[in-house]
Homo-oligomer: A and B are copies of this chain.
Amino acid sequence: MSDIRIEAGKLRAFMERAFEKEGFDTHQAQRIADVLMQADLFGIESHGAQRMMYYHQNIASGSIDVHAHAQTLRETPVSALMDGHFAMGQLTAARAMETAMEKAKKTGVGLVAVRNSSHYGIAGYYPLMAAREGLAAFSMTNTGPIMVPTFGREMMLGTNPLAFSMPADPYPFWFDASTTVVTLGKVEVYDKRGREMPEGWTIDGEGRVCRDAHAMNASILAGGRGGILPLGGEGETHSGHKGYGLAIMVEALTGVLAQGLLCPQMCGAHGDHTSHFFLAFDPAMFGDAHEIRTRMSEYLQMLRDSEKAPGQERIYTPGEKAHEAMADRLENGVPVEENTLAELRQIARELDIAPL
């Protein structure tokens, strides 16, 4: 498995062209491509070009509706409930976050719950929209079943990521993490590379430690027993119950609050009927926005400057690796796997557009 570097502008243009040909208008295609490109630029390859085939297939099968638009069902000055009507998740989510931001600018805070959406890309894309305009924001989504409960062996929870961003310099504080110990993407990478996984990532159908990435990946996709462990690992010794609890919290704020499908009611690891939650607020409600931003930046710098563990050269703060990856990829191109390139060629053929 080797990577080829593709010039970022070319990759973006290809994505836009593909999504236009799928039936989206130019503005929509740009938004979807922007979410995917953000992932690729940040070095989160699992959620960038690599997901093009997933969207292509789901559009073809009709599980994503190209012509649908999210609809607001309920609204107050500080909140909205939206139905995604199975439109492309990125479009629904961006509109939901924009709604939360508009409310935050008017009233100080906006909460938006969304049901009947679809896979929305990286959770962290949306809080960054808010951070660019001086707001702090959360984004969460449920997903199809992939995580086993503490002491369980059935996949009853999603990767259920929680993302949060707050303005800071030289770039926003940016946290985006699944509540599983690792994502499916990581299992897939170990599978593709034929590597054994570390202990503490997954358990098999008998509830035993599973290090076989190939077997686990196949089992997850088939909806078998066993699955990925919560952040904190197996049992309670290293506080796996905390990751499990965080995942339920995310489900409470998404599938439950938006009255969408709950995780075990979804089919497939990604989930086609996902629910999201967005919250944006204006830090200026609590004090001088510039001062708060400066304090945030100073604290992050204190962390980076603190003493390193032996053998470590750097302490990172959340978002730092992503922003450094972006600088590299903008200059040197986006690494795309051969498998993914082949998929993009297939998409180009099927959509009758120029390949990369």
Within 8 Å of chain B (Cβ to Cβ): is A203? yes
Q: From residue A206, how far is it (CB to closest CB) to chain B in Å?
A: 6
Of A52-60, A280-288, A331-339, which stretch is located at the interface?
Answer: A280-288
- Complex interface: chain B residues within 8 A of A151 (CB): 308-309, 312, 314-316
Subset of 10 A-B contacts with CB under 8 Å: A79-B109, A79-B285, A79-B286, A81-B285, A154-B306, A156-B302, A173-B249, A231-B231, A238-B238, A262-B302
Within 8 Å of chain B (Cβ to Cβ): is A291? yes
Q: Cα distance A317–B283 when bound, in Å? A: 33
Q: From residue A197, how far is it (CB to closest CB) to chain B in Å?
A: 10
Task: Select the residue from A181, A255, A306, A310 with max chain B CB neighbours within 10 A.
Answer: A306
Q: From residue A203, how far is it (CB to closest CB) to chain B in Å?
A: 7
For A299, the closest partner residue in chain B by CB is B262
- Chain A 240-262 interface mask (CB, 8 Å, partner B; 1/0): 01111110110111011111001
**A308 CB contact (under 8 Å) in B152, B249, B315:** B152
Q: B231, A299: Cβ atoms under 8 Å?
A: no
Q: 5 more A-B contacts (CB under 8 A) besides A164-B249, A181-B239, A232-B232?
A: A77-B107, A108-B111, A153-B307, A231-B239, A259-B287
Q: B107, A207: Cβ atoms under 8 Å?
A: no
Taking CB atoms and an 8 Å cut-off, the chain A residues in 284-322 that contact chain B are 285-287, 291-292, 295-296, 298-300, 302-303, 306-312, 314-318
Q: From residue A297, how far is it (CB to closest CB) to chain B in Å?
A: 10
Within 8 Å of chain B (Cβ to Cβ): is A355? no
- Complex interface: chain B residues within 8 A of A181 (CB): 232, 238-239
Contacts from A to B (Cβ < 8 Å): 74, 76-79, 81, 107-109, 111, 113, 136, 148-154, 156-157, 164, 166, 173, 175, 177, 181-182, 198, 200-201, 203, 206-208, 225, 231-233, 237-239, 241-246, 248-249, 251-253, 255-259, 262, 264, 281, 283, 285-287, 291-292, 295-296, 298-300, 302-303, 306-312, 314-318
Q: Cα distance A253–B257 when bound, in Å? A: 23
**A78 CB contact (under 8 Å) in B109, B150, B177, B317:** B109
- Complex interface: chain B residues within 8 A of A285 (CB): 74, 76, 78-79, 81, 111
- Complex interface: chain B residues within 8 A of A156 (CB): 302-303, 306
Q: How many copies does the complex hold?
A: 2
For A291, the closest partner residue in chain B by CB is B259
Q: From residue A194, how far is it (CB to closest CB) to chain B in Å?
A: 19
- Complex interface: chain B residues within 8 A of A76 (CB): 107-108, 285
Q: B238, A242: Cβ atoms under 8 Å?
A: no
Q: Cα distance A156–B306 when bound, in Å? A: 8
For A244, the closest partner residue in chain B by CB is B318
Q: Cα distance A239–B208 when bound, in Å? A: 20
Q: A233, B241: Cβ atoms under 8 Å?
A: no
Q: Cα distance A159–B292 when bound, in Å? A: 22
Q: B238, A111: Cβ atoms under 8 Å?
A: no
- Complex interface: chain B residues within 8 A of A300 (CB): 248
Q: A173-B248, A248-B317 are in contact. Are A306 and B152 (CB under 8 A)?
A: yes
Q: A256, B292: Cβ atoms under 8 Å?
A: yes
Q: Cα distance A318–B314 when bound, in Å? A: 36
- Complex interface: chain B residues within 8 A of A309 (CB): 148, 151-153, 203, 207
